[in-house]
Amino acid sequence: MIHTERFLDDEVAEALHHALTFEPWQVSTLRVGEFGFRFHRRAIPEGDVSIFGAVRSRIAALFGGPVEAHASWYGPGCFLGRHNDAEPDGGRERAWVLHMTRGWRPEWGGLLNFASGESLVPRFNVLTLFDVPRDHEVTPVVDAAPAGRYALAGWLRRF
Q: Where are the domains of the chain?
A: 2-120+128-140
Provide the pLDDT for residue 159: 64
pTM, two decimals, is 0.93
In our burial notation (b when 16+ CB lie closer than 10 A, e otherwise), range 7-21 reads bbeeeebeebbebbe
39-92 tens-digit pLDDT: 999 999 999 999 999 999 999 999 988 999 999 999 999 999 999 999 888 899
CATH numeric code, 2-120+128-140: 2.60.120.620
Provide the pLDDT for residue 81: 95
Chain-centre distance for alpha carbon 15: 17
78-118 tens-digit pLDDT: 999 999 999 888 899 999 999 999 999 999 999 999 999 99
Name which of 1-5, 86-90, 141-145 the model is least confident about. 86-90
Provide the pLDDT for residue 54: 94
Answer whether 83's CB lies under 8 Å from 137's CB.
Answer: yes
Enumerate residues 6+ apart whose C-beta is below 8 A from 28.
Answer: 37, 38, 39, 40, 41
Provide the pLDDT for residue 127: 97
Provide the pLDDT for residue 16: 96
Q: Give 34 or 100, the one with higher predicted confidence.
A: 100
Chain-centre distance for alpha carbon 12: 17
CB atoms within 10 A of CB 96: 23
How far is it, in rounded angstroms, from Cα 4 to Cα 126? Answer: 6
Answer whether 117's CB lies under 8 Å from 59's CB.
Answer: no
